[in-house]
Structure 1
Amino acid sequence: MTHSLSKEYYRDLEEIQAVDFVLFELALYLDTHPTDSQAIKQFNQYALYSLKLKTAFESLHGPLRFGTPNRNEKVWEWSQSPWPWQV
């Protein structure tokens, strides 16, 4: 089944990917600098921002993460394609 995805879908997904990239980089840095309080603060800020972006994405575009409540009580949305890793 082919779905037509909006520009907003791709824009929102790209923003999530960019923020999660920052989180991974900060995590790697913190592995070697575990007492850098500024980096910990940045990590926590980006982690909250990532959660906010993912929650907003799912409310507009459907499931992004397994375990997110299903928005539709008649259709199991998780089984609908495309999944984010397929775009």
Structure 2
Amino acid sequence: MGHERVHLLKKIQEVEFAAVELQLFLDTHPQDQRALMEFNHYSRELMMLKQQFEMQYGPLLNFGFSPSQYPWRWIEGPWPWERQY
């Protein structure tokens, strides 16, 4: 797996982790405006990173969550979770 691809996947994981943590925090602190602003920031960044990844390397999710370019790219490897350094 190329270095750029691995770097982008790690960045997606980092941003997704931050978004999940903020979501859990907001479940118990729904009035925290700063946390909500941070959550929205990470949500937008995550969407952009995933879109960038999918344009360069193919879909990250199946079952209709990630549209595919022609030809069908879901079966192309390596899979997003495969680590080949």
d(CA) in 2 for partners of 1:69, 1:84: 15
**What amino acid is aligned across from residue 51 of structure 1 in structure 2?**
M
TM-score by length of 1: 0.85
Aligned equivalent of 1:79, options 69, 75, 78: 75
Sequence identity percentage: 42
Alignment partner, residue 52 of structure 1 = 48
Structure 1 runs (4+) greater than 3 angstroms displaced: none
Aligned equivalent of 1:41, options 37, 41, 48: 37
Q: Deviations over 1:6-52 (max 9, x none)?
A: 10010000000000000011011111111101101110111000000
Query: Radius of gyration: which is bigger?
Result: 1
Is the helix fraction higher in 1 or 2? Answer: 1
Q: CA RMSD in A?
A: 1.2
**For structure 2, which runs of at least 5 residues remain unmatched after alignment?**
none
TM-score by length of 2: 0.86
